[in-house]
Structure 1
């Protein structure tokens, strides 16, 4: 059986830990054909490298990053965790993905009688954690484009760290451009440090983290199954294996 290692960042927030646990539980229900193990790249234990080493000794392993964008943790921490093990592979980060737009829209719909982003003068700031990795910024920009195609108001980006503009800068720029109401669309998974930065950035409305929204679970399951397929021989490969010698 292939093991799914659900690897999140780690947080000191009790509420954030609860939400990540709910995401793992939902993933386990979505992919009952596998065992789901927890792992982290920072703050919490067990560390992803230790979990992969233990589980790879028992069979194939797919690490699914519970992270919304690529960056240092996917390109270095998780990549280094799977590199020594031929039967281990890392799936891509959850985003960008069109399904996550539905999660963002549902979280926005929970604000202000469901009209967030639909009033004249509204402006959305897609508020992401951020990274110094340029690929992470490109991933967030793709999510901004996907979201902008589904809402009738302008959408810009603000980052919690790693690159500019910061979330408060993006909020201020939206107001300076004439926005009557600035809404921060929280592009984070769970309560914690970055969710706090979004909440205190000065927007008029702030959506809640994506959490265990069905779209998040759907994307995680898709990432797992696509990556797991890389570990299994294709029918063509299997058909060209030499026959087992008879004794």
Structure 2
């Protein structure tokens, strides 16, 4: 039996100290849910420790969990290309029903709405755009109402356009569910989209912490089969 792999959580990285603090507090929640598991942190860019420094400090196998809400360059190309042969890279966190639950909780901090929009950061990857559409459908099923989606940058439809279109169709109160893990540049862009209210980023939430552990467990199972070498990355579906 191999040693229990380290959970290496890979954040995107931000210059906003509140965003970094939120990611670290989220990982503290993960540690609280599973105190016997070694949970390490690093960032794909901007922040320290870097992914390379974190991997260099490993003394055994690890499972890298991209703290990203959908497929894109970092989760599909960048992170798998920067880790060593003893590190498995999981699929990104979303879309997932646990995220819909967390988003619904954050929406409770906003006033009643005629229309709800899922506001995402944006991506140039078609699979990432599809993931946001799926996440909006999941949130809609959870809320029992239609949920549109829009992007703060780098993809269509743009969030201000979606908010404006809903107003033209008669929605007086439009609320955006911030589909982000932590505050930072993209949350500020979402705040400026013209909606009546914007929910806080998902942040520190038990459902999100449980999802990080679920992604870890999906990949760590490979280490439990004697004699089986881990793959570089698991399914990206």
Q: TM-score, normalised by structure 2?
A: 0.90
Query: CA RMSD of the aligned region, Å?
Result: 1.5
CA distance in 1, matches of 2:65, 2:217: 10
Q: Which of 12, 20, 41 is 1:38 aligned to? A: 41
What is aligned with 2:233? none
Q: Which of 176, 184, 187 is 1:184 aligned to? A: 176
Q: Relative to structure 1, is the Cα distance of residues 152 and 229 closer, same or farther in structure 2, using a 3 angstrom cutoff? A: closer
Comparing both chains, which one has the higher relative contact order based on Cα–Cα distances under 8 Å and sequence gaps of 6 or more? 2
Q: Secondary structure, in 3 states, of the residue corresponding to 1:149?
A: helix
Residues 39-68 of structure 1: CA deviation (Å, up to 9, x unaligned): 11111122213322431xx11110011111
Unaligned runs of 5+ in 2: 229-237
Note the C-alpha offset of 1:21: 0.8
Q: Is the 8 A contact 1:49 1:80 kept in 2?
A: no
CA distance in 2, matches of 1:31, 1:225: 12
CA distance in 2, matches of 1:109, 1:198: 18
What is aligned with 1:76? 77
CA distance in 2, matches of 1:13, 1:123: 30
CA distance in 2, matches of 1:230, 1:97: 22
Matched, 1:106 2:109: no
Q: TM-score, normalised by structure 1?
A: 0.86
Q: Which of 212, 225, 235 is 1:220 aligned to? A: 212
Q: Secondary structure, in 3 states, of the residue corresponding to 1:150?
A: helix
CA distance in 1, matches of 2:146, 2:172: 12
What is aligned with 1:134? 126
Matched, 1:163 2:155: yes
CA distance in 1, matches of 2:217, 2:134: 23
CA distance in 2, matches of 1:70, 1:31: 26
Note the C-alpha offset of 1:200: 1.1
CA distance in 2, matches of 1:231, 1:80: 20
Q: Which of 28, 31, 53 is 1:28 aligned to? A: 31
What is aligned with 1:96? 95
Residues 2-55 of structure 1: CA deviation (Å, up to 9, x unaligned): 111111011111111111110111112223232111111111122213322431
CA distance in 2, matches of 1:74, 1:31: 24
Q: Is the 8 A contact 2:119 2:179 kept in 1?
A: yes
Note the C-alpha offset of 1:152: 4.1
Please tell me whether Structure 1 or Structure 2 has the larger radius of gyration of its CA atoms: 1
Q: Secondary structure, in 3 states, of the residue corresponding to 2:143?
A: coil
Residues 91-111 of structure 1: CA deviation (Å, up to 9, x unaligned): 111111101111111111122
Task: Detail structure 1 runs of 4+ shifted over 3 Å in the superposition.
Answer: none
Residues 177-230 of structure 1: CA deviation (Å, up to 9, x unaligned): 221211010000111011111111110011000001111101001111111112
Q: Which of 3, 6, 11 is 1:3 aligned to? A: 6
